[in-house]
A and B are shown apart, each in its own frame.
Chain A
Amino acid sequence: MSKKRSDWESRPQARIKKWFFDGYSAFDDEIINQISVKTPDPVNHAVYDAYIDEISANKHERKLMIEKFEDQNVRSWINARGRKVFTRFYVILSFLLACLMIFFLLRTVAEMPRFGSETSPGINEVTARYIEKGLDETGAMNIVAGMILDYRAFDTLGESTVLFIAASAVLILLRIDRNKDGSPVMELIAEESDDRHYEPRNDRILQGAAKVLVPIIFLFGIYIILNGHLSPGGGFSGGAIISAGLILYLDSFGFEKAGRFFTYSTFSWVSFISLSFYALAKTYSFYMGANGMESGIPLGTPGAILSSGLILPLNIAVGMVVACTMYIFYALFRKGGL
């Protein structure tokens, strides 16, 4: 029985069927079995170079093999032409899929309410409530800030946490551990360990420009954060601007000088304090609101800097998290550490 089955499996029809249903990767296994590729540790230079040579040799070998079978039988057709045909088929199919998708979505767009119309169903009682009661209930002149940091503050807590988790994940993936003398524990790949990629060149033009620009950028970012409840802006945009200033400083003066005020512990403490302050503040207001108690946080006069209750401190917390996260993204992608 088993012999019969294996006979059937080796027949051309079955192979075509297998190729058709499993896609073109079904024959990768066979090629792999014939060319056993063993990947050595990429850290070791000599072995790695030999390995690269071996792969390129294998590619040639594979080409030769495909040519060898290119006689009459189905197998050679599958390996040589079938793969190409499948790739072409795949390209055409995905192009058609995209076109079909665009067609149906355009059909939907053609049925949608006119751009800028007042009667579109998206403008409903929720919008009316936010606009009419927003200023009285949250005290924020900027209705969007009142919405994302008061009515939907839980959502924004989630966003800040997502940013923090992303920074942690990138840290785990890209961080290079160093010994006490500064040499990396894992041996770096040659071009990455070249210091010239990330050490400063003491460019006087860049440093002079940075000296003038960095304080102004910081001031602008702080202004955007502190005015988040009065004008366009808020924690996310202001934090991004502050991180831009930090990155400019890092680029012009190098990691050593930037490390005097921004280290891993700065990142973890600032993020921890901001996120826990956010969570505690919103827990307090949710608890008070759910039990029908007065929260005791004054809303202040609309339009003043110190107004709108918790929105200003929450904006500052979000801005801190965003600035730290963006800066650490840049530092990790550039050098793999601070």
Chain B
Amino acid sequence: MWELLYENLEQTVSVILFGIGLTILLLQRNLIRKIIGLNIMDTSVYLFLASMGYINGRKAPIVVDGIQDVEAYINPIPTGLVLTGIVVAVSFTAIMLALTIRLYRRYRTLDIDAIMLLAKGEDA
């Protein structure tokens, strides 16, 4: 039942990393740490995708000596998907960090609970 876990070591590690990122996201109250958790989750997904595209004994999908055989190269599609993911992750990390800086300038704290409490106090 669990024999393949060691064979699929990359995927196992990526799943565990995903869980670690999720736990950080849920439990940390510091906004910067939450962002780090989200980035760990991202990275685990890239690892998963990249490992799905690999085929034993085949080469990276760059045509060498004019060989255009399916048997010669690994799957190029996950590589393109990971590229998309990295770009989006960079963008949203930048926006989240900028928002965090604005929140810190306003409330002088990074604790999400304290910020919520102070924001409620402003409304009241």
Do residues B23 and A94 form an inter-chain contact, with CB atoms below 8 A? yes
Do residues A165 and B91 form an inter-chain contact, with CB atoms below 8 A? yes
Do residues B62 and A142 form an inter-chain contact, with CB atoms below 8 A? yes
CB of B101, distance to nearest CB on chain A (Å): 6
CB of A224, distance to nearest CB on chain B (Å): 14
Do residues B19 and A102 form an inter-chain contact, with CB atoms below 8 A? yes
Q: What is the CA–CA distance of A112 and B51 in the complex, to the nearest angstrom?
A: 12
Do residues B26 and A126 form an inter-chain contact, with CB atoms below 8 A? no
**Closest A residue to B3 using CB positions:** A110
Q: CB-CB contacts of B65-83 with A at 8 A, as 1s and 0s?
A: 0101110110111111001
* Chain A residues with CB below 8 A from B87, complex form: 159, 162-163, 236
Query: Interface of chain A, helix or strand or loop or mixed?
Result: helix
Do residues B94 and A329 form an inter-chain contact, with CB atoms below 8 A? yes
* Chain B residues with CB below 8 A from A37, complex form: 118, 121-122, 124
Partner of A36 from B72, B101, B106, B124 at Cβ < 8 Å: B124
Partner of A333 from B55, B97, B99 at Cβ < 8 Å: B97
Q: Does any Cβ of B come within 8 Å of A118's Cβ?
A: yes
**Closest A residue to B10 using CB positions:** A115
Do residues B11 and A131 form an inter-chain contact, with CB atoms below 8 A? no
**Closest B residue to A237 using CB positions:** B83
Q: Does any Cβ of A come within 8 Å of B63's Cβ?
A: yes
> 8 Å CB contacts to B: which residues of A75-119?
91, 94-95, 97-99, 101-102, 105-106, 109-112, 114-118
* Chain A residues with CB below 8 A from B57, complex form: 116
Do residues A36 and B121 form an inter-chain contact, with CB atoms below 8 A? yes
Q: What is the CA–CA distance of A222 and B2 in the complex, to the nearest angstrom?
A: 48
Q: Does any Cβ of B come within 8 Å of A213's Cβ?
A: no
Do residues A120 and B52 form an inter-chain contact, with CB atoms below 8 A? yes
Do residues B120 and A115 form an inter-chain contact, with CB atoms below 8 A? no
Do residues B80 and A152 form an inter-chain contact, with CB atoms below 8 A? yes
Q: Does any Cβ of A come within 8 Å of B36's Cβ?
A: no
Number of A-B residue pairs, CB cutoff 8 Å, is: 198
* Chain B residues with CB below 8 A from A332, complex form: 98
Q: What is the CA–CA distance of A155 and B82 in the complex, to the nearest angstrom?
A: 12
CB of A112, distance to nearest CB on chain B (Å): 6
Q: What is the CA–CA distance of A123 and B54 in the complex, to the nearest angstrom?
A: 10
Partner of A122 from B12, B20, B56, B78 at Cβ < 8 Å: B78
Q: Does any Cβ of B come within 8 Å of A173's Cβ?
A: yes
Stretch at the interface among A10-18, A143-151, A280-288: A143-151
Do residues B23 and A110 form an inter-chain contact, with CB atoms below 8 A? no
Most buried by A among B10, B66, B94, B105: B94
* Chain A residues with CB below 8 A from B99, complex form: 173
Do residues B79 and A115 form an inter-chain contact, with CB atoms below 8 A? no
Do residues B84 and A170 form an inter-chain contact, with CB atoms below 8 A? no
Q: CB-CB contacts of B99-112 with A at 8 A, as 1s and 0s?
A: 10110011110000
Given contacts A102-B16, A148-B80, contact A163 B75 (CB under 8 A): no
Do residues A159 and B79 form an inter-chain contact, with CB atoms below 8 A? no
Do residues B98 and A143 form an inter-chain contact, with CB atoms below 8 A? no
Q: Does any Cβ of B come within 8 Å of A33's Cβ?
A: yes
CB of A107, distance to nearest CB on chain B (Å): 8
Q: What is the CA–CA distance of A111 and B4 in the complex, to the nearest angstrom?
A: 7
**Closest A residue to B64 using CB positions:** A141
Do residues B23 and A163 form an inter-chain contact, with CB atoms below 8 A? no
Instruction: Give chain B's interface residues, CB within 8 Å of chain A.
Output: 1-5, 7-12, 15-16, 18-20, 22-23, 26-27, 51-57, 60-63, 66, 68-70, 72-73, 75-80, 83-84, 86-88, 90-92, 94-95, 97-99, 101-102, 105-108, 116-118, 120-122, 124
Instruction: Give chain A's interface residues, CB within 8 Å of chain B.
Output: 25, 28-29, 32-33, 35-39, 42, 52, 55, 91, 94-95, 97-99, 101-102, 105-106, 109-112, 114-118, 120, 122-123, 126-128, 130-132, 134-136, 141-144, 147-148, 152, 155, 159, 162-163, 165-167, 169-170, 173-174, 189, 230-232, 236, 302, 329, 332-333
A sample of 20 inter-chain contacts (CB < 8 A) reads A32-B121, A37-B118, A39-B106, A39-B107, A42-B108, A105-B18, A109-B4, A117-B56, A132-B68, A144-B61, A155-B80, A155-B84, A162-B87, A163-B87, A166-B91, A166-B95, A173-B99, A173-B102, A333-B97, A333-B98
